[in-house]
Amino acid sequence: MIYLLILAICIVLFILYMIYKAHHDMIDFLTIADCKLPEGFHDFQVFFISDIHRRKINENTLQSIEEKIDIVIIGGDLTEKGVPIKRTENNINRLKQWNKPIFFVWGNNDYEAVPEKIYNLLLRENIVILANSNKDIIADNGDILSLIGLDCCKYKEAHLDLALQGAKGSYNLLLTHAPSAFFDLNLDEQRLVHTVLAGHTHGGQIRILGFGLYRPGGFQIYRGINVLISEGYGYTRLPFRLGTKAECHVITLKRTV
């Protein structure tokens, strides 16, 4: 009987630990150094958050960031089916604390929710939706960086040619919810972008002895291209994490010689 009691206590503690991990925010401060970055975007800072799902963004987490944020990027799965639209609206309002432009790419769970309501909310809140489209950002010295957004979740494949149409930037920052949308591009297409921000995988969310459904998230240089795959801020199905982080990112772009 005593062994069953000990086992039950261990199971409860293990579950509580996974719940804690799912709600304990980690801020990833990442510097991306790139000789191709235009001079006007040296020290340009991006707040990137992906896969919020059911979570409420912690205001204390955002307020702890002392860096001067220039833009905010939501990498998809802002919400999911069953999440009250008011919660999503509150999360957006919290991301407005910097009074900077906010950009959004669709995730699969956004489409599985009520996309019409989400779309109308984003428009009402002046969020820029990048769905196989782009937005040029012009620096004070006239340099241009293009945000290229793929809508890989609706069309099931990347339409990079469509997303690039009209982009004037000498530096392309690709936003995609699913990292596979980038990795499935051919080499010539991949070389059209310089930095990639993605999410979707949650790093596997629950990893046992290092094994999970997906690879861990993180930063890598792939074929000379900067790639960040976030492990995401929220969780899907169960409020558990193990071996992964509930994270958001402060990214500083640096021009190198």
Give the type of residue at 21.
Answer: K
pLDDT for 52-85, tens place per residue?
999 999 999 999 999 999 999 999 999 999 999 9
3-state secondary structure of 255: strand
Using a pLDDT cut of 90, give the percent of the chain over it.
86
Q: What is the pLDDT of residue 213?
A: 78
pLDDT for 196-249, tens place per residue?
999 999 998 988 887 777 888 999 999 999 999 999 999 988 899 999 999 999
- Domain of residue 210, residue span: 2-255
Q: Within 13 Å, how many C-alpha atoms sit on residue 132's CB side?
A: 12
- The yes-or-no verdict on residue 130 having pLDDT over 80 is yes
pLDDT for 18-28, tens place per residue?
999 999 999 99
Number of domains in the chain: 1
Cα separations (Å) of 170 from 132, 138, 145?
18, 11, 6
Q: What is the CATH number of the domain that holds 8?
A: 3.60.21.10
- The yes-or-no verdict on residue 186 having pLDDT over 90 is yes
Q: What is the pLDDT of residue 155?
A: 65
